[in-house]
Amino acid sequence: MSTLVAASAANVLVWIVWVVAGFSCLASGVAVVSFSNPFYSALALIGNLGSLAILYLLLSAEFVAAAQVLVYAGAVMVMFLFVIAYVGPRMEAPWAGGPSWQTLGAVGAAGALLVEIVVVISLKAGDSLGTSAAVGASFGTPAWIGRIFVTDHLASFEITSIVLLVAAVGGVILGSHTRRRASETVAPNVVEQREPVGGAR
Amino acid sequence: MLGPGVAWYAALAGFLFGTGALGVLIRRNVLIVLLSLEIMLNGANLALIAFSRHAGNGAGQIFALAVMAVAASEVCVGLGLVVALHRRRLAIDVDRLSELRG
């Protein structure tokens, strides 16, 4: 009887954590889309990623939650904030002047996509979503992830490393190409005047 | 599995994906389009991990980690493009970047 009470108390606790994390996840997602300053949008996305990491912990995916915080909220968002600070804050008023046909079409398309996702999941899954499989304590731990990464999913591991290498090379080429062009030109001022200057600060 | 069932996670993932799609379609700043793209990828990741836990199978978590690596690559190339645009004094606006020659 006491174990039953403890189990239901844990259930209520998990529900509370889920509701708080899910609400903050959705709210920060809406904030990312609606802020006019990209700096605030990036900060809201950090909150979104943190609450998603809590949801991953509830799903007993400890390694993915840690990777989410380290890779996304750490490395990727630092790079985003650096580039936003480099480019400079460019305000944009997304909701000014009433809804345009483009905005209405976008809302319709996103709503249709959402309805499609919900309908497909509820129709195809049916009642098989009721009971989840029982998993051991090692499910989602770094040791377990590492073992299945180099045994069952070795091809995806290697392909991921190639994708990262290609992206790094592409980033270096994109960054160095323009620098070489600017230094090779004899009169960079003429080049700058020829370009459209609409986005310059 | 304690707490909400997998259907709740799937619904939350669908809402996240819809929010990100809305941002990608509405906003015109390239940086915010990239941030909204991250929300879409994270919605897909949440669904993958929820169904991985539901089925007791680790393939979904491996897939989520691969999606994370692809997202990092996409941010690397996308932000490289933004920096290159800024160096050429072009507008960071997807509606005005309609020609490849710039």
pLDDT digits (tens, 9 = 90+) for B13-37: 989 999 998 898 888 888 999 999 9
B61: nearest CA partner in chain A: A64
pLDDT of residue A132: 74
Q: Closest approach of chain B CAs to the CA of A27, in angstroms?
A: 10
Whether the CB-CB separation of B43 and A47 falls below 8 Å is answered with no
CB pairs < 8 Å spanning A and B? 263
- Contact yes or no for A33 and B42 at CB 8 A: no
pLDDT of residue A177: 58
The domain made up of A1-90 is a member of CATH 2.40.110.10: no
What proportion of chain B, given as a percentage, has pLDDT over 70? 97
Of residues A190 and B92, more confidently modeled: B92
pLDDT digits (tens, 9 = 90+) for A108-167: 888 888 888 778 777 766 666 667 777 777 888 899 999 998 999 999 999 999 999 999
- Region A89-94 average pLDDT: 68
Which one of 2.70.180.20, 4.10.320.10, 1.10.287.3510, 2.30.110.10 gives the CATH number of domain B7-87? Answer: 1.10.287.3510
- Contact yes or no for B68 and A72 at CB 8 A: yes
Whether the CB-CB separation of A118 and B11 falls below 8 Å is answered with yes
Give the Cα-Cα-Cα angle B71, B75, B77 (nearest 5 degrees).
115
Q: Which residues in B lie closer than 8 A to residue A200 (C-beta atoms)? A: 89
Whether chain A has a CB inside 8 Å of the CB on B27: the answer is yes
The structure's pTM equals: 0.84
ipTM of the complex: 0.90
